[in-house]
Amino acid sequence: MDRGCWLWIPAAAATAAVLLLWCRWRMNRMLSRLNDMLDAAVRGEFQETRYDESRLSAVEVRLSQYLAASAVTAGRLREEKETVKTLIADISHQTKTPIANVLLYAQLLEEQVPEDCRPYTAALNAQVQKLRSLIDGMVKTSRLEAGVLVLHPRPGSLGPLLEEAAAQFAVPAAEKGLTLTLVPTEVRAVFDAKWTAEAVCNLLDNAVKYTPAGGRVTLSAVPYELFCRVDVADTGPGIPEEEHAGIFRRFFRGEAAWETEGVGVGLYLVRQIAAGQGGYVKVFSRPGEGARFSLFLPRR
């Protein structure tokens, strides 16, 4: 090999090394720009910039266009969310007074009408109560879904909350001839006291409502390493397995529930409350063997 060839090899190697370094620098620069775009999008601060396609890759340009479109979509979603919040507030405000007035007039009417007309006023009262329950349930779930109400889970003992819930349903259970049992507990968990009480009361309400006279309803809590399980068990008719997946949907009513008062939003609200605290809810039931609803709450 002549001397010219020996001189050419180091020059080619140097050129290749420089080209490799330049490609690596260009790649790192592009990745850094992409990372900056994504960071700005996460913060909600991304703004579309015109890039020189002769200097930046097509991937960079397309990502910029995608993030710009996403930012527009996010803005529209925020506007729609604010509209929903306003609508929910209006519905809640506008319906409270008329329903309260109808209940008041129904009660006054019941005191004035003859005895043989009392069943009609009682039916009127029941329907208005059902309407109020429906609207209250829909407003609560809509507020949670729209982010109007935010749950604030804090560490605490579940004992006092379960005691208050059991005391609230002691009279309805006794009037129906049910045995309501609270298993004492000192279990601690991380939960929003107000909304967790709402969830537990919804489960107790269903248990008392669907359990026939002479049955039992039991409220208890079982600690695990990561979660605490709050159980509401009853000796009611039970729930077929094919309905287990649907009972937590809004307005779902099982075959055995059609003859019982209800609107089908209670269990849906329980699921929303559980999910909002990092927990979940499950049902264990077979026809003729009662049901056990378990609300799982994080312990940390």
Give tens-digit pLDDT for 197-251. 989 999 999 899 889 989 999 999 999 888 999 999 999 888 888 877 778 776 6
| Residue recorded with tokens 């969830």 | 199
Contact indicator for 183, 278 with CB cutoff of 8 Å: no
Mean pLDDT of the chain: 76
Region 171-177: mean pLDDT is: 91
276 versus 110: the higher-pLDDT residue is 276
Of 94-108, 195-209, 272-286, which gets the smallest average pLDDT? Answer: 94-108
Task: Grade residue 125 by pLDDT with cuts at 50, 70 and 90.
Answer: confident
Among candidate residues 300, 168, 278, 293, the one with its CA nearest the CA of residue 225: 300
Please give the Cα distance from 219 to 205 (Å, whole number): 12
Mean pLDDT of 258-280: 76
Tens of pLDDT along 64-82? 666 666 665 666 666 666 6
Phi/psi region, residue 22 (left: phi>0; alpha: psi -120 to 50; beta: rest), is alpha
Range 115-126 average pLDDT: 79
Please indicate whether residue 258 or residue 186 has the higher confidence score (pLDDT).
186
Strand partners, 291: 234, 285
| Residue 91 pLDDT | 66
